[in-house]
């Protein structure tokens, strides 16, 4: 089983590859297997999705690693801002609905 230190090293060494591989991931990892979609559990990238070697943690992994989405893409940043704005609007509407329901009961 690989240590978290080697995972961090692999993650940081692969970060330079992200710009060239961010738009199109390989169909096979360096082992010749299909990469698997996983979720990061590190504090720095908690919940962030990435493609990695299917053999990670169970045998000889090749170190294949690519983020599933590129944080540098302006489209991703724009959509994240839009989602945050929409969540705020949902909370406002929910508050108004609770007040309306409370007003009808009195």
Q: Which helix or strand (DSSP H or E) is residue 30 part of?
A: none
* Domain extent listing, the chain: 1-69, 73-106
The predicted model scores a pTM of: 0.42
The predicted-structure confidence for 49-79, as pLDDT tens digits, reads as follows: 888 888 887 877 788 888 887 655 677 778 8
Q: What is the pLDDT of residue 105?
A: 80
Q: What is the DSSP string of 39-71?
A: E--SSTTTT-EEEE-TTTTTS-----EEESS-T
CB of 25 closer than 8 Å to CB of 35: yes
Question: What number of other Cβ atoms are within 10 A of residue 22's Cβ?
Answer: 16
Residue by residue, pLDDT tens for the chain (106 residues) are 444 444 443 443 444 444 444 445 568 888 888 888 888 999 998 888 888 888 887 877 788 888 887 655 677 778 888 999 999 999 999 999 999 998 888 6
């Amino acid at each position: 089983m690989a240590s978290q230190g080697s995972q961090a090293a692999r993650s940081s060494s692969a970060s330079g590859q992200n710009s060239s591989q961010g738009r199109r991931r390989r169909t096979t990892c360096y082992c010749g297997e299909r990469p698997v979609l996983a979720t990061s559990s590190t504090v720095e990238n908690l919940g962030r999705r990435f493609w990695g070697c299917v053999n990670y943690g169970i045998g000889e992994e090749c170190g294949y690693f690519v983020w599933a989405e590129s944080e540098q893409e302006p489209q991703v940043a724009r959509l994240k801002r839009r989602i945050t704005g929409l969540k705020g609007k949902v909370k406002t509407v929910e508050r108004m609905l609770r007040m309306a329901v409370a007003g009808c009961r009195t």
